[in-house]
Structure 1
Amino acid sequence: MTSMNPDPRLRRVVIGVDTHKYVHVAVALDDIGGRLDDRSFPADRAGYEQLIDWAADLGARRLIFAIEGTGSYGVGLTSAVRRRGIGVVEVLRTDRRDRRLRGKSDTLDAENAARAALSGNATSVPKTNDGTVEMIRQIKVAKDVAVKARTSAMITLKAVIVTAAPELREQLQPLSKMALINRCAALRPGSITTVAAATKHTLRSIARRWQQLNDEIKTHEKLLTELTTQLVPQLVAAFGVGADTAAELLIVAGDNIDRVRSEAAWARLCGVAPIPASSGLTTRHRLNRGGHRQANAALYRSVIVRMQHHQPTRAYVTRRTSEGKTKAEIIRCLKRLLAREIWALLRPLRSTNTTTTAIT
């Protein structure tokens, strides 16, 4: 550990933090990048207060935290820093090339986080996790897990039927999905003394699990509809969006949507912003692949619905097709237009004052 006497004339100190499950490692840098101190603190409420107090004792006029993993192991520290009225920015994982050159340690990662903020490469404001959007995110997690389990149950049910005795398989295979679930849930295997009885027992168990998961998913969907409609009714009412897509996009935006500075930044976050890809005499653009994949997928689903049932979108597709655009190119254009429309619909959530913490 390196320690220096703090200079009371320090204009600014940046605290880089490498977060882990049980311990957080912090490094303090002064305004010109000199290391002042480094410490390790427990990853609990008492440790958060100790870390903040240690940083405050460095004597800087202005204090800024640069934290890795603000949405996972660093979420508690981020909230504690915000409650103390201190600026905080989110830092992405260290560049792999830098790791190969300098090595890897928790202290080096914390220092790299501080230098990223000090140089202006890290300016992202972390999401808050204390509002309606966080409630939506928690329920969406429960719903997504239940949907995966329900899909797995149906796949397993049909796989069991394939290897079932011919007399049972021939009765069940022609049935539709819901008829199959109801028939299997009503099976009476009796005593498990034969392979046929064991198969019926398995089919009944899987079918009833599917029914339970289906009821659970409906409950989650009802809650998501209530919360999203309460927060952004104009977004839920948009053609082809609905509660599930609105929930996904709100989760990407966060409770503090002001952290997204502009409509162009929102498009980039959703992975629909074009970036230059020119070389020599060729001038072209391609999509930025660094956006949020779930948000991009939500936009894609809404665009497909509009292409099938929304008359203005169908007219747009017809016009662009006559201009020689391929279907994939048209979908990319529609996703960009939809992202712009959604940004406008989210305007009521944006306050007049920005919450962005600039590193200046």
Structure 2
Amino acid sequence: MGHRPGRREHQLLGRVRVESTGSYGAGLASFLRRAGDQVVEVNRGDRAVRHLRGKDDTIDAETAARNVLSGSATATPKTGEGTVEMIRQVKIAKDTATKARTQAIITLKAVLVNAPAELREALEPLNDRELLDACRALRYESMDGPEDAARYTLRALADRHRSLDYEARRHERILDTLTDRAAPTLTSQFGIAADCAAELLIVVGDNPERIRSEAALAKLCGACPIPASSGKTTRHRLNRGGHRQANAALHRILVVRMRLHQPTIAYVERRSREGRTTKEILRCLKRHLIREIYQILVSPHKAENLSSAA
């Protein structure tokens, strides 16, 4: 009888294709990588094929195998074992706290609409900060009527907003520290704050060398031009695919630069005189910004790998 490997023993497999390396397959991918295997990510199959054939584990496994055999599965997954993975986890906490904070003040204002007239008339003219302070100062003697319940609810929601605000600000400070540690050059660029830098770092990952080219990064962020020509008309449009959070981060950076960054303002004015629309200018600016980000985040790692290989 042959020897059966124990749970902690591992036979080197060489090159292994793993699906969902960023979620359910992350643990397996990490184990194989530490064991010395080369892990290749198998992306989700064609949606049109899935629509025609349906979906279950057997069909998904067959589709993944066909992608491997055809050579279309070549992506290197993120390692998820460095500072960028720390940024990703902290950003989840920060984003959920921010969303809950917004929901708290929306709910507070909805409660105020149906509050007793005297209470509503006193609080409605206030701005958000004054409204929150006034609601935290509300008192009630006992639960004898709707006004007491309204005072209690408004104060509870205002306290919740303050607690979530403190939490979100704490996450922001940690995020600032981590992004400065991971990419100090990126956060020093005009208009790139910690939140946008975090989104871009999350897309690139802890192993930026996995991104083959500047065009690959543009496609990953949904910033590559998509042909939209017809007949004698030759044009391109904005990409609706890619990582939408990273694309939104690029948009926020460019909104700031188009208002305050003089070289960007001059570029927009020149392209406008040439007859370009705002969407076309924005598409071009996103591509220029991707080039800038690629030179900061990816190129140094590629050069380092080439020098070490030599």
Give the TM-score taking structure 1 as reference length: 0.78
Verify: 1:173 aligned to 2:124, yes or no.
Answer: yes
Shift of residue 211 of structure 1? 0.2
| 3-state secondary structure, aligned to 2:17 | strand
* CA distance, structure 2, for counterparts of residue 329 and residue 101 of structure 1: 36
Q: Which residue of 2 aligns with 1:135?
A: 86
User: For structure 2, which runs of at least 5 residues remain unmatched after alignment?
Assistant: 1-5
1:82 aligns with one of 14, 33, 43: 33
2:264 aligns with one of 299, 313, 333: 313
Shift of residue 87 of structure 1? 1.5
Verify: 1:98 aligned to 2:49, yes or no.
Answer: yes
Shift of residue 112 of structure 1? 2.4
* CA distance, structure 1, for counterparts of residue 186 and residue 210 of structure 2: 19
Verify: 1:345 aligned to 2:263, yes or no.
Answer: no
Shift of residue 101 of structure 1? 5.9
Q: CA 1:309–1:245 in structure 2 vs 1: closer, same or farther (change >3 Å)? A: same
Q: Which residue of 2 aligns with 1:192?
A: 143
Q: Which residue of 2 aligns with 1:218?
A: 169
Q: CA 1:322–1:174 in structure 2 vs 1: closer, same or farther (change >3 Å)? A: same
Q: CA 1:212–1:262 in structure 2 vs 1: closer, same or farther (change >3 Å)? A: same
Shift of residue 114 of structure 1? 2.5
* CA distance, structure 2, for counterparts of residue 274 and residue 86 of structure 1: 36
* CA distance, structure 1, for counterparts of residue 301 and residue 194 of structure 2: 17
* CA distance, structure 1, for counterparts of residue 117 and residue 236 of structure 2: 57
Q: CA 1:307–1:101 in structure 2 vs 1: closer, same or farther (change >3 Å)? A: closer
* Deviations 1:153-207, CA, capped at 9 Å, x for gaps: 0100111111111111111111111111111011112211111111000000000
Q: Do the aligned partners of 2:137 and 2:155 also contact (CA within 8 Å) in 1?
A: yes
Counting only pairs closer than 5 Å after superposition, residues 200-349 of structure 1 correspond to structure 2 as: 200-346=151-297, 347-349=299-301
After TM superposition, the structure 1 stretch with the greater mean CA deviation from structure 2, 160-169 or 114-123, is: 114-123
Q: Do the aligned partners of 1:258 and 1:351 also contact (CA within 8 Å) in 2?
A: no
Q: CA 1:198–1:350 in structure 2 vs 1: closer, same or farther (change >3 Å)? A: farther
Q: CA 1:101–1:160 in structure 2 vs 1: closer, same or farther (change >3 Å)? A: closer
Give the TM-score taking structure 2 as reference length: 0.90
Counting only pairs closer than 5 Å after superposition, residues 113-132 of structure 1 correspond to structure 2 as: 113-132=64-83
Greater per-residue strand proportion: 1
Counting only pairs closer than 5 Å after superposition, residues 3-82 of structure 1 correspond to structure 2 as: 46=7, 53=11, 63-82=14-33
After TM superposition, the structure 1 stretch with the greater mean CA deviation from structure 2, 293-302 or 80-89, is: 80-89
Shift of residue 280 of structure 1? 4.1
Aligned pair count reads 300
What is the identity, as a one-letter code, of the residue corresponding to 2:240?
R
After TM superposition, the structure 1 stretch with the greater mean CA deviation from structure 2, 113-122 or 200-209, is: 113-122
Counting only pairs closer than 5 Å after superposition, residues 102-113 of structure 1 correspond to structure 2 as: 104-113=55-64
Q: Do the aligned partners of 1:252 and 1:292 also contact (CA within 8 Å) in 2?
A: yes
Shift of residue 111 of structure 1? 3.1
Q: Do the aligned partners of 1:136 and 1:247 also contact (CA within 8 Å) in 2?
A: yes
| 3-state secondary structure, aligned to 2:241 | coil
Shift of residue 351 of structure 1? 5.4
Shift of residue 344 of structure 1? 1.4
* CA distance, structure 1, for counterparts of residue 250 and residue 302 of structure 2: 21
* CA distance, structure 2, for counterparts of residue 154 and residue 73 of structure 1: 35
* CA distance, structure 2, for counterparts of residue 264 and residue 96 of structure 1: 24
Q: Do the aligned partners of 1:89 and 1:117 also contact (CA within 8 Å) in 2?
A: no
* CA distance, structure 2, for counterparts of residue 194 and residue 341 of structure 1: 61
Q: CA 1:350–1:206 in structure 2 vs 1: closer, same or farther (change >3 Å)? A: farther
Identity of aligned residues (%): 58
Shift of residue 217 of structure 1? 0.6
Counting only pairs closer than 5 Å after superposition, residues 154-169 of structure 1 correspond to structure 2 as: 154-169=105-120
1:148 aligns with one of 94, 99, 102: 99
* CA distance, structure 2, for counterparts of residue 269 and residue 100 of structure 1: 24
User: For structure 1, which runs of at least 5 residues remain unmatched after alignment?
Assistant: 1-44, 57-61, 355-360
| 3-state secondary structure, aligned to 1:352 | helix
Shift of residue 216 of structure 1? 0.3
* CA distance, structure 2, for counterparts of residue 73 and residue 106 of structure 1: 14
